[in-house]
A and B are shown apart, each in its own frame.
Chain A
Amino acid sequence: MLTPGRYFLSGNVATAEAALLAGCRFYAGYPITPSSELMEHMSGRIENEGGVFIQTEDEISAIAAVIGAAMTGTKSMTATSGPGFSLMQENLGYAAMTETPIVIVDVMRGGPSTGQVTVVAQGDVLQARFGSHGDYETIVLAPNSVQELFDLTIKAFNLSIMFRNPVILLSDAELAHMTEKITVPEKIDLVGFNDIEIEGIPKFTPLGIGGKLAITGLTHNEKGYPITTDVQVHRKLVTRIVNKITKNEPIISDVEIINPEADTLIVSYGISSRAAYPVIKKHKDVGLFRPRTLWPFPESKFKEITKNKRIIVVEMNLRGYGLEVERVGRKYGAKDFEYINLIGGEVPKPYQIEEVL
């Protein structure tokens, strides 16, 4: 495992190494560009740490195997890209319903369908939150550098275990293949199963210790027995699994804010947000709101700085995170909204933001 110090790593490799440091000991995946290097690196490394690697027959079985392994109390993850992430959606809902902590890395590429295989996009931002059917919540993290890929991968494991919920790390083709300097810290804080008690989250019992667990994706009561036609049972269960995330949004939220007093606020995340820094440096009246946790929407942080602001949303899709930014922004008195939506694989450049200032 990486010892504390400085390294020069690509995004995919940094993600894999961070997962190992976070205690990930089960990896199942299916090759897909631009996430394959992560899987290749994992296949050579995880067994040295006493873990298990399997290349499954498709992404559906990858996430299913990851959920199965996670149910035994093993920290587990998979990585994929858009088409594979679409295939995973049903079982993502299953993980939410059965409150199984898993980590999914979605290395975004251009969609829809097979789309642009090798180039960057941010088109999965809404899918990561709303992709499966029914009411559920996911925690979605959006790093904007290789260092953050490393940090947020560890955070993803911690959050998934704290909240017994799937956590999605939104990497992208650019970050995944970019090589940058990172620092592995001296001390890495890890959360273990049942370390932290949070209201509305039942204790985790793994399979195979005589717990006689009854696990089902059907609506179930506290014992895990299916009860599918009782209004109250369903309401209680689903409200709880949604509230455990939404009510704890202030604890989960992690944002970067620069110049909160400025009249104009750039809202951006992931690789797109890197175009904002030179703009802010040059124009003192421009600020930045950059969520590292995209979902749940960091409303508690956003509402404090949004009043009377002109907001510029910069992202690499046509209609994405801006929808939620506008909804919450209007609620808290934002004045005006501008959108820079770039698709095709072009990362936003500072001058493109300056043009709309």
Chain B
Amino acid sequence: MEFFEFYRKDRWPHQFCPGCGLGTIMNTMYKAFNDLKMDINKTVFVSGIGCTGRVPGYINADSVHTTHGRALAFATGIKLARPDLNVIVISGDGDLFAIGGNHIIHAARRNIDIKVIAVNNATYGLTGGQLAPTTPYNMITTTSPYGNREYPFALADLVAAAGANYVARWTTAHPNQLVNSLKQAFTTRGFSFVEVVSQCPVNFGRRNKMGDPVFHLRWIKEHAIPISKVSFDVKTPYEILDLNTKGIYIIGELVRRNRPVYGEALSEEEEESVPME
């Protein structure tokens, strides 16, 4: 499949700012989708509101751009009504974890067969760079002019705790690993979640001495620690939260498991493994 068979050429040029991480993410999505030879006519892309929410609109497939925060709720309806379709949700951190926080933990808890790409740029880019639930401590945004005094969410860890079958975190500075991870996510049965830490030089970096996309990308790279290099004692939720507060991201595959999938009939073996009174 050519790049412009996957993306709608008649919608080019896209609206994203120069230096935006979504370019890398759109490329890696295309690569993963193409490598797996997935059927674009059997795939629905769903998003909420925000910069990332606009991505499905550029894809040459069924795309549903929904209301703010509700992408997963819409995706749940689509997947349950048509279980044969691949349902891929791509949305931002504010959309999925602030206004839509309830939906993502419940979708992960149900372990419904939906694939989620969460683009975490630590801010609300589309509305002008306001404080997000992912903004690292002390960082400047348009609604935290003296520095953020809140603790950020560790997105992937939250979803892992809620019960997804596949959870990984990568950054736009790791495109090859991201492609492999997306492929793994797309082929895992059940709820799959890939967090992509991404740069927003225009609306976040600029206010934090990273206005140049290269600086912002370098900052992300420097703050990303591979999970293999994290010692066992910082893998507790508390320690992860602490690292996250400093804007440090543990990258890699956090979870790969095979829990029963919502809406799918259980095999006898699985039936036995479910605790019953």
Contacts and interface: CB of A to CB of B under 8 A. Distances in A.
B62 A67 contact: no
Contacts of B76: 28, 54, 56, 61, 64-65, 68
A60 B73 CA distance: 8
Given A91-B67, A225-B11, A68 B77 contact: yes
A60 B70 contact: yes
Contact of A207 (B62, B102, B263): B62
A207 B64 contact: yes
A64 B73 contact: yes
B86 to A, nearest CB: 10
A94 to B, nearest CB: 5
A66 B60 CA distance: 24
A23 B100 CA distance: 31
Contacts of B62: 207-208, 211-213, 215
Interface in B15-50: 41-42, 44, 46
B106 A57 contact: yes
A205 to B, nearest CB: 9
A57 B77 contact: no
Nearest to B87: A68
B42 A208 contact: yes
A294 interface: no
A218 interface: yes
A61 B107 CA distance: 11
A26 interface: yes
A196 interface: no
Interface residues of A, number: 39
A341 interface: no
Interface stretch (A69-77, A172-180, A305-313, A322-330): A69-77
Interface in B102-131: 102-103, 106
B60 A212 contact: yes
Interface in A213-264: 213-218, 225-226
B261 to A, nearest CB: 14
Interface in B61-111: 61-67, 70, 72-78, 80-82, 84-85, 102-103, 106
A90 interface: yes
Contacts of A25: 81
A211 B60 CA distance: 10
A207 B67 contact: no
Contacts of A216: 57, 64-65
**Residue among B11, B72, B80 with the most chain A CB within 10 A?**
B80
A5 interface: no
Interface of B: 8, 11, 41-42, 44, 46, 57, 60-67, 70, 72-78, 80-82, 84-85, 102-103, 106, 263
Interface of A: 25-26, 28, 52, 54, 56-58, 60-62, 64-72, 74, 76, 90-91, 94, 207-218, 225-226
Given A61-B76, A72-B78, A213-B62, 12 more contacts: A60-B70, A61-B102, A62-B73, A64-B70, A64-B77, A67-B77, A72-B85, A207-B78, A210-B41, A212-B61, A214-B65, A218-B65
